[in-house]
Amino acid sequence: MKKLTVFLFFIYSSSLFAGGFQFVPKKVLFENEIELINAKVKLGHNNLEYSCLIDTGARFTIFKESILKDLPKVGETIGGGISNSSQITDLVSIDLDMGDWHKAGAIIGRTDRIPFDCIIGNDFFINKNFKIDFNKYEITDLDSSIDLENSFPLHIYKNDSGGHFGFEMTLVQRKVETIFDTGAASTVVSLAFVKEHAEHFKLIKEIDVTDGNDAKLKAGLYELDEIAFGGTTLKNINVYALDLSNLKSKIPNVEIVLGLNVIQKYNWQIDIQNARYFYNSK
């Protein structure tokens, strides 16, 4: 069977400009319609840049252990993404920069379980108002207040080390919660939900996948007949079915993790302060 890695790499250019960073699209190898984005993040302790995954599905930022091995441990936590990992992750304190976004004294994880240098998680985004523009290839600060009348409710789940955000969706005629996940190349639906509503999911193939903690999993690729959010209805969307029980233990109503195959169709405005989001076709 074909092997798939279900995450997205974000890259931004080294040139700085006010309010955020630019990114450069790169086609993913396993699904030509999905664009991967490589990113570079500069660390304060060695002044070096590393290519990172921008992952709003991960609650906090994490780097490969070898990069941060000389920094003293300041704490520990469990997991970090939507996977079911229960392994302990060490925490360290560091300054880091992404474009002209600076985070001083960031408490981030270090682990040898990720298959690339680093993940920039939701601790970087959960207190920001920002926009994602796939036409201009940039993520920047939201330059004005969001239009509250024409925007939609954003659901925010904060914790000590970051958190998640998402919004209500209609999935097989049921209202469910989502997680907005730039780190997932494809949208993922809870395996239990797929089994319960099998008539709405057409199996395309079974596949091996690797999650954000480098765990090897089996998954089914399905065609889902319909999803709806905001003022949009999408039909015949490809999704993967995975066990989301770890995520659901923290956010019980989440049944779908919205990935890049849907996210990249639109430009987004995310207003954490007012708990609203807006999107438009790119």
Per-residue pLDDT of the chain (282 residues; tens, 9 = 90+): 333 434 433 322 233 334 777 675 655 544 444 555 667 899 999 999 998 888 888 888 999 999 999 999 999 887 654 455 567 889 999 999 988 888 899 999 998 888 778 888 898 899 889 999 988 888 999 887 788 889 999 999 987 778 899 999 999 989 999 999 998 888 999 999 999 999 999 999 988 766 555 566 678 999 999 999 999 999 999 999 998 888 888 889 999 999 989 999 999 999 999 999 999 998
Q: Which residues of 238-273 are buried (b: 16+ CB within 10 A; e: fewer)?
A: bbbbbbbeebbeebeebbbbbbbbbbbeebbbbbbe
Region label for 208, one of left (φ > 0), alpha (ψ between -120 and 50) or beta (otherwise): beta
Give the CATH number of domain 152-281: 2.40.70.10
**Would strands 118-120 and 49-54 be described as parallel, antiparallel, or unpaired?**
parallel
The confidence score (pLDDT) of residue 116 equals 78
Q: pTM for the complete prediction?
A: 0.85
Distance CA 161, CA 170 (A): 29
User: What residues contact residue 132 under an 8 Å CB cut-off, 6+ apart?
Assistant: 139, 182, 263, 267, 268, 270
Distance CA 48, CA 105 (A): 17
Distance CA 197, CA 212 (A): 27
The confidence score (pLDDT) of residue 3 equals 39
The confidence score (pLDDT) of residue 96 equals 92
φ and ψ at residue 53, rounded to 5 degrees: -90, 125
- Indicate where the chain has its CATH 2.40.70.10 domain(s): 3-141, 152-281
Side chain identity, residue 240: Y
User: What residues contact residue 229 under an 8 Å CB cut-off, 6+ apart?
Assistant: 152, 167, 168, 169, 170, 178
CATH fold of 3-141, please?
Cathepsin D, subunit A; domain 1 (2.40.70)
Select from 200, 203, 202, 134 the least CA-distant residue to 170: 200
Q: Which residue has the tokens 């490969």?
A: 64
